[in-house]
A and B are shown apart, each in its own frame.
Chain A
């Protein structure tokens, strides 16, 4: 089955530093990937839609200069949290859309837990 990986699975960084999270589709190509944020015991909130070879589309209220998204290839999208602050601590989840066969099904990565101290 389709597998999406994320790296790292957890990261601790100091306030003011930047952190990059990778999302990879391992056995399919994904022209579209999505980034979500999940606070403890809450639902997933869509942050942005990542399109291969073009700029990401951000949801209302998400700072594009703070959360930089790069989708440089059909199997890799990265989310960089710039100048991280404690309020950026959260669980970040990506998903990738498998367009083969016309199913358009999304597959989710295991998530990355970010803690900013």
Chain B
């Protein structure tokens, strides 16, 4: 069965410093992986997705993630945090052969200190 594990429930960074949100996946085949962001009282927004093309995926708002099969990881990074990045981030895996339903990780709350 497919699953994702987000290794940190909370991450706190200072504005202007790098962001690293960690995600490990488990899948018996080459998965499709996503990062979504959820701001308070707003809907989920897709940051980026990996679908077996380039292993380094660039997303919106300066975020990127690298798919590493040997480490079964898909960590999300950003060179310089902005106050507006404070939100909940979800690492997600798509379940193929099952209507492409999504399995969400437990989430990482990113706090950005001024």
A residues contacting B by CB (< 8 A) are 4, 32, 34, 36, 42-46, 49, 51, 57, 93, 95, 97, 104-106, 108-111
Residues of A within 8 A of B11 (CB): none
Within residues 74 to 89 of chain B, which ones have a CB less than 8 A from any CB in chain A?
Answer: none
Nearest opposing residue in chain B for A104, CB measure: B100
CB neighbours (8 Å) of B107 from chain A are 42-43
Summarize B's interface: helix, strand, loop or mixed: strand
A105 touches B43 (CB 8 A): no
**Contact residues, B42-91 vs A (CB, 8 A):** 42-46, 49, 90
Which 10 residue pairs are nearest across A and B when measured between Cβ atoms?
A110-B43, A108-B44, A44-B104, A43-B104, A43-B106, A43-B107, A108-B43, A49-B99, A104-B100, A32-B99
Quick check: B90 and A44 within 8 Å, CB to CB? yes
Chain A interface SS verdict (over half): strand
Interface size on B, residues (CB 8 A): 17
Q: Chain B interface (Cβ within 8 Å of chain A)?
A: 36, 42-46, 49, 90, 99-107
State whether A106 touches B43 (Cβ < 8 A). Answer: no
Most buried by A among B44, B49, B102, B107: B44
Cβ A34 vs Cβ B104 within 8 A: no
CB B5 to nearest CB in A, in angstroms, measures 11
Q: Shortest Cβ distance from A30 into chain B, in angstroms?
A: 11
A76→B105 CA distance, assembly (Å): 27
A93 contacts B44, C-beta separation under 8 Å: yes
Q: Are B46 and A105 in contact (CB under 8 A)?
A: yes
Write out the residue numbers on chain A whose beta carbons fall within 8 Å of the beta carbon of B100. Answer: 32, 97, 104, 106
CA A95 – CA B44 in complex, angstroms? 10
Q: Report B-chain residues with C-beta under 8 Å of the C-beta of A42.
A: 106-107
